[in-house]
Structure 1
Amino acid sequence: MENLLPKARQIEFHPLKLAKKQELTKTTFALEFEIPLNLSSQYHFEAGQYVTLQFLSDGNLVQKDFSMTSAPHEGKITLGIKISSEESFANSLFNNLEVGDDVQVSEPRGRFTLISKPHEFRTIVGFAGGIGITPILSHFKNILHTEPRTRLFLFYGNKNKRQVAFKNELDELVNQYPDRLEIHYFYSQEKLGNGLFEGRLNAKKVALIINQILQLDDTDEESTIWDAVDEVLICGKGEMIKSIANACYKHGIPKKNIHFELFEEFNEDIFPIEKEFPLMENIEVDFKLFNKEYKTTLNNNKMRLLQQLLIQKFPVPYSCKSGICGSCECILEEGEVELLENEYLTEKEEASGKILACMSVVLSKNIKVNFDLI
């Protein structure tokens, strides 16, 4: 989870002491922060959430989001971070932070979460690409700790074996829970002699996984493991998420049980839009953002509200553009929009008038929205 743009909602930061810095691979590392007793309530979190680090980089104050790998019962915040280039914010963190330093860390947030069901028999499948393992690792550690009847299957893709982040920790989990956790690794740039595990995780791989790995179920001889899947977790790049999510849906998993977290900007819909909308032209838009009032006109409603405001150079906060991160959440005060399927807003929030600008198709000649959520 990453976001470099300012957000309309206030983020609360506190200084946390860096307790550990560990290089995982040549391009990934982990940071572990202590949670002091006086801040324990502020840093209570759910598996799958993220925090924002605020850090001075090249004279500029930068904020960036990172998913936690730690589970709530561990009593600490651990982040997995990828270095994309020598000029990146992540590389600056790795080179300049030392154990014992105080770092401005936001209070946890995010909605890549699951409802805990400790008394049920569940089957949960995870798909991770690269550093996308971070929130899924948090989920799996939490579920193994709190749900004794749940079994987990992880399919983890990387370029090669040398780039597998958190391999030791994953191996320890398999050794600790051999009857409940199964992990399979896939490599896009390494030959293994087995075509199933060579190449990227995508829709074709999902079909092979279903047919060759998630086959006969020892707990029910008349069905397969895939038939028993209750929830699917996906985290990685947009194309991977789109391909796998649609494959899972086509193979019988309801959309409401397919959860995903995006680690980069992605300008496409995860699931195809199956509805046509009436054309509206010359749409008047009033909106409040960072305590300023704005007015503009949209030529038509062929594009979503967020995309049109960004084209006009308004500083609207966003990260994914795909209804996942919630950065563009706002309140519809006047007018009508069609809110497309999204992974962020609850039914209660939608009923209260909240929308995501990135997933909103305008259906009236005038609308008024407020991005300044309290």
Structure 2
Amino acid sequence: MAATHLDSTIQSAATPAPVKHRARFHTLTVAEVRPLTADSVEVTFTVPPKLQGAFDYLPGQHLALRATIDGQELRRSYSICRPATAGEISVAIKRDLGGAFSTWANSELHPGDEIDVMSPQGSFTSTLRNLDHKHVVGVAAGSGITPLMALAHTVLAASATSSFTLVYTNRTALDVMFLDELAELKDRYPARLALYHVLSREQRSSSLLSGRIDEEKFRRMLDTILRPVSVDEWFLCGPFELVQLCRDTLESTGVERSHVRFELFTTGEASAASGDRGRPVIIGQGDKTFQIEFTLDGQSNTVTTPVNAKESILNAALRVRPDVPFACAGGVCGTCRAKLVSGDVTMTENYALEPEELARGYVLTCQSHPTTDTVVVDYDA
């Protein structure tokens, strides 16, 4: 996907309150599969009227898709790439090297096919309540452009005085997703959209727009084309190395972390949990165990996990409730978020939860491991 930060659409200068959806799959029909580059497609789904409310979203959110491929259930998250349009919703999928789901979607998915799609999730969304005279900056790499397409469209349409600056890096011009759409957006908002294409393997007329974005180049951008003092909100989306570089550099120049939204995309296959149940766990006689209690859809369940299994809360919960929500199982998308009611856990990774969510007791169950005899979490909170 492009992982994981609030929720529906900006329809005016004021941003509406986030809409929180229960992480539930619905079967949607593919309306269109449109090639973007040689290795990426835009997939549009038809949303029937009865499900319209379940698929309301804010630009920047993502969808989890579920399909059975070669006998194995796979789930992957992809960012929504269009501003809200009644009756349809679209994501972009770039083929990953060795990625079973993305390869299948690029070669085997066709109009008329049906696929399970989870209601929109994620909080990689604007916190600005009013966009009048606001300047938003996006930095994207490769398929990281996907959520920024929806964000740029929405920010610019929401107010006649808003502005958006986009720095978009790719290897070559042939790798640029949404090339025509970006040009059309620039034509529509020539004075309010600043668009900079950076190519790492092609020489451009400006050295600033040629080569990989490293710290020195990014600092030059901050001194020339980005100007942090003029920016109200930052959106960073791409691989971990680029996102972390930008975050660290922005922080070193005095930009508050609360003004920087970030989302990661991953190219590896999920390994912590897969299919429709958790990996098997055997409890031997005399094994020391943890007890995990969890609430989902108002129903409470209890599962026991051996200490030596080092099992995540998500995997344990899936062994007794196959409908426990998850998508990436890598700490990126935030779909498996739950509130820690009692007990203690350690989280291996966290690329989805904001500091304020952590302060309120939320954890990523795919990355959380019990450290006390009993742990209680609530997926409904």
Shorter-chain TM band: 0.7 to 0.9
The answer to which of 334-343 and 170-179 deviates more is 334-343
Match of 1:245 in 2: 247
The alignment's C-alpha RMSD in Å is 3.5
Paired letter, 1:70: R
Structure 1's unaligned 5+ residue stretches are: 4-8, 215-224, 267-282, 299-306
1:12 offset after TM fit, Å?
2.0
Match of 2:171 in 1: 159
Match of 1:56 in 2: 68
User: Is residue 325 of structure 1 aligned with residue 323 of structure 2?
Assistant: no
Task: Label 1:53 to 1:250 Cα distance change in 2 as closer, same or farther (>3 A).
Answer: same
Match of 1:370 in 2: 377
Are 2:77 and 2:333, in contact at CA under 8 Å, matched by a contact in 1?
no
The answer to which of 255-264 and 334-343 deviates more is 334-343
Match of 2:283 in 1: none
Match of 1:235 in 2: 237
Aligned residue runs from structure 1 range 240-319, under 5 A: 240-264=242-266, 285-288=290-293, 291-297=301-307, 309=311, 319=328
Paired letter, 2:292: F
2-side partners of 1:110 and 1:59: how far apart? Answer: 29
1:52 offset after TM fit, Å?
1.6
Are 1:342 and 1:359, in contact at CA under 8 Å, matched by a contact in 2?
no
2-side partners of 1:118 and 1:45: how far apart? Answer: 18
1-side partners of 2:339 and 2:83: how far apart? Answer: 32
User: Is residue 200 of structure 1 aligned with residue 212 of structure 2?
Assistant: yes
2-side partners of 1:321 and 1:60: how far apart? Answer: 18
Task: Label 1:259 to 1:188 Cα distance change in 2 as closer, same or farther (>3 A).
Answer: same
1:106 offset after TM fit, Å?
1.7
Are 1:133 and 1:156, in contact at CA under 8 Å, matched by a contact in 2?
yes
TM-score calculated relative to the size of structure 1: 0.76
Q: Tell me the matched-pair count.
A: 331
Paired letter, 2:339: I
Match of 1:179 in 2: 191
CA deviation map 1:157-209 (0-9, x unaligned): 10111100001001100000011101101111112243211222343222010
SS at structure 2 position matched to 1:72: coil
SS at structure 2 position matched to 1:113: coil
Task: Label 1:196 to 1:42 Cα distance change in 2 as closer, same or farther (>3 A).
Answer: same
SS at structure 2 position matched to 1:98: coil
Paired letter, 2:340: L
Match of 1:276 in 2: none
Are 1:262 and 1:320, in contact at CA under 8 Å, matched by a contact in 2?
no
User: Is residue 16 of structure 1 aligned with residue 28 of structure 2?
Assistant: yes
1:115 offset after TM fit, Å?
3.1
Match of 2:126 in 1: 114
Are 2:80 and 2:146, in contact at CA under 8 Å, matched by a contact in 1?
yes
Paired letter, 2:266: E
Paired letter, 2:232: D
SS at structure 2 position matched to 1:16: strand
Structure 2's unaligned 5+ residue stretches are: 4-20, 269-287, 319-325
Match of 2:52 in 1: 40
TM-score calculated relative to the size of structure 2: 0.75
Task: Label 1:75 to 1:115 Cα distance change in 2 as closer, same or farther (>3 A).
Answer: farther
1-side partners of 2:311 and 2:66: how far apart? Answer: 27
1:356 offset after TM fit, Å?
3.7
2-side partners of 1:104 and 1:335: how far apart? Answer: 34
2-side partners of 1:366 and 1:100: how far apart? Answer: 50
Are 1:259 and 1:343, in contact at CA under 8 Å, matched by a contact in 2?
no
Task: Label 1:350 to 1:342 Cα distance change in 2 as closer, same or farther (>3 A).
Answer: farther
Paired letter, 2:377: N
Task: Label 1:123 to 1:321 Cα distance change in 2 as closer, same or farther (>3 A).
Answer: same
Are 2:350 and 2:364, in contact at CA under 8 Å, matched by a contact in 1?
no
Aligned residue runs from structure 1 range 220-231, under 5 A: 225-231=227-233
1:98 offset after TM fit, Å?
1.8
2-side partners of 1:95 and 1:200: how far apart? Answer: 30
Paired letter, 1:184: Y
Task: Label 1:343 to 1:203 Cα distance change in 2 as closer, same or farther (>3 A).
Answer: farther
Task: Label 1:87 to 1:284 Cα distance change in 2 as closer, same or farther (>3 A).
Answer: closer
2-side partners of 1:296 and 1:60: how far apart? Answer: 27
Match of 2:90 in 1: 78
Aligned residue runs from structure 1 range 209-224, under 5 A: 209-214=221-226
1-side partners of 2:118 and 2:369: how far apart? Answer: 32
2-side partners of 1:13 and 1:358: how far apart? Answer: 18
Aligned residue runs from structure 1 range 88-103, under 5 A: 88-103=100-115
Are 2:31 and 2:45, in contact at CA under 8 Å, matched by a contact in 1?
yes
1-side partners of 2:317 and 2:213: how far apart? Answer: 35
1-side partners of 2:310 and 2:229: how far apart? Answer: 42
Are 1:330 and 1:369, in contact at CA under 8 Å, matched by a contact in 2?
no
